[in-house]
Amino acid sequence: MNPLEQILKCGQSIWLDSISRDLINSGELQRLVDEDHLRGLTSNPTIFEQAIAHGNSYDDTLRQSLSANSEQTDKSLFETIAIEDIRMAADVFRPVYDEAGGVDGFVSLEVSPYLAHDTKGSIAEARRLWKAVQRPNLMIKIPATPEGIPAIEQLISEGINVNITLMFSLHHYATVARAYIDGLNRYTPSGGSGNWPVSVASFFVSRIDTAVDKLLEKIGTAEALGLRGKIGIANAKLAYHRFREIFHGNQFSPLLSKGAHIQRPLWGSTGTKNPAYSDVLYIEQLIGPESVNTVPPKTLAAFRDHGQARETIMENVAQAEADIARLKHLSIDLDAITVQLQDDGVDSFIKSYDSLLASIRAKRQEIAPAPA
């Protein structure tokens, strides 16, 4: 059996952390759905920058857009491309969405990273993108910044599906879960039942190891070196434990009885960055029911080839707690690291977004008709 199918049997959905026009038009995305049981897709400014900056797959769309309105901004041209890609990808996943009863088969589109610290701007852009895409299996991505939290609550209260991104700490997770629940408490289902918004809480994993490992190696003791490659997974296991407490406890049961959906944790940043670690580490160690793992194409292929699928997410939780506690003994402040990682994540997406717009600017000059 395909190990990716085995993951699905464990109750976890695998989403693809990638999008491109070629991926969709070539039929490869449909093949991944049919053969690898792919259940959704995520995008971000970095992914779109990589897709648009290389090749000429988007040239025709740019020509048509510029022909219709040559005064469009670079941002407007990007949104035209992104919305078209997201719509097509959402249509590929629509049968998954329907088969899952509207709780899987989603495609995510992120608001501008420049709005990461702008609550009102995030709400306005999310509403606009939601209306523009017009697909029920769309999720709008909002970062879990302090300014993003009230935007998440408001959008959920309006019935807009939200993928909360750039989460690194248990504090981030608790705040995001609270915003989701508060939004649901303000939401009125149309017709009195059904149509509840769906949300995932994207908890980043490998970036934590990248940051913490550097500090552990600097300390250099046997105790410190023994923690390398363990903290990202330990942190995620504790977040999953908290998820179970919140969404399968008394706190959420009144909403669950009304038909509301749990907010599944989603493991992001699951491509292995350290070549000394297994290339499927952040999949194999985080498999469990009612969760999602969004993986880059290379990691997906690696797991298909040699991954081992069994339920692991609730194993060794006590050891995970002990590993996190040992960081304090080593004077490593994980809370400070996660705050910095979120800030760095926003900055990284802004740089990718700027690079993306620069690529579009170069493309529009390249394809512009020569002057008469």
pLDDT in tens, 299-348: 999 999 999 999 999 999 999 999 999 999 999 999 999 999 999 999 99
Structure confidence at residue 106 (pLDDT): 98
Q: Which residue has the tokens 């990718």?
A: 352
- Which of the pair, 213 or 370, is modelled with greater confidence? 213
Structure confidence at residue 203 (pLDDT): 96
- Collapse the DSSP code of 110 into the 3-class scheme (helix H, G, I; strand E, B; otherwise coil) and give the result: strand
- Collapse the DSSP code of 295 into the 3-class scheme (helix H, G, I; strand E, B; otherwise coil) and give the result: strand
Quick one: average pLDDT of 11-23? 96
Contact in structure between 26 and 3 (CB atoms under 8 Å): no
Gap between the Cα atoms of 261 and 290, Å rounded: 11
Name the pLDDT band for 191 (thresholds 50, 70, 90).
low
**Could you give the C-alpha distances from 335 to 26, 146, 170, in angstroms and in order?**
44, 15, 9
- Kindly report, residue by residue over 78-129, the tens digit of the pLDDT: 999 999 999 999 999 999 999 999 999 999 999 999 999 999 999 999 999 9
Contact in structure between 35 and 2 (CB atoms under 8 Å): yes
The percent of residues above 70 in pLDDT, for the chain, comes to 98
Quick one: average pLDDT of 43-69? 86
- Predicted TM-score (pTM) of the model is 0.95
Residue 18 phi/psi, 5° resolution?
-170, 155
**Domains in the chain: boundaries:** 3-367
- C-alpha triplet 195, 189, 261: angle, nearest 5°: 55
Gap between the Cα atoms of 242 and 236, Å rounded: 10
Active site residues per annotation:
141
Contact in structure between 350 and 113 (CB atoms under 8 Å): yes
Structure confidence at residue 164 (pLDDT): 98
Mean pLDDT for the chain overall? 94
Residue 165 phi/psi, 5° resolution?
-115, 175
**Could you give the C-alpha distances from 10 to 126, 166, 204, 290, 292, in angstroms and in order?**
33, 25, 21, 9, 11
CATH of domain 3-367: 3.20.20.70
- Kindly report, residue by residue over 249-291, the tens digit of the pLDDT: 998 999 999 999 999 999 999 999 999 999 999 999 999 999 9
Gap between the Cα atoms of 313 and 205, Å rounded: 13
190 has pLDDT over 80: no
Structure confidence at residue 314 (pLDDT): 96
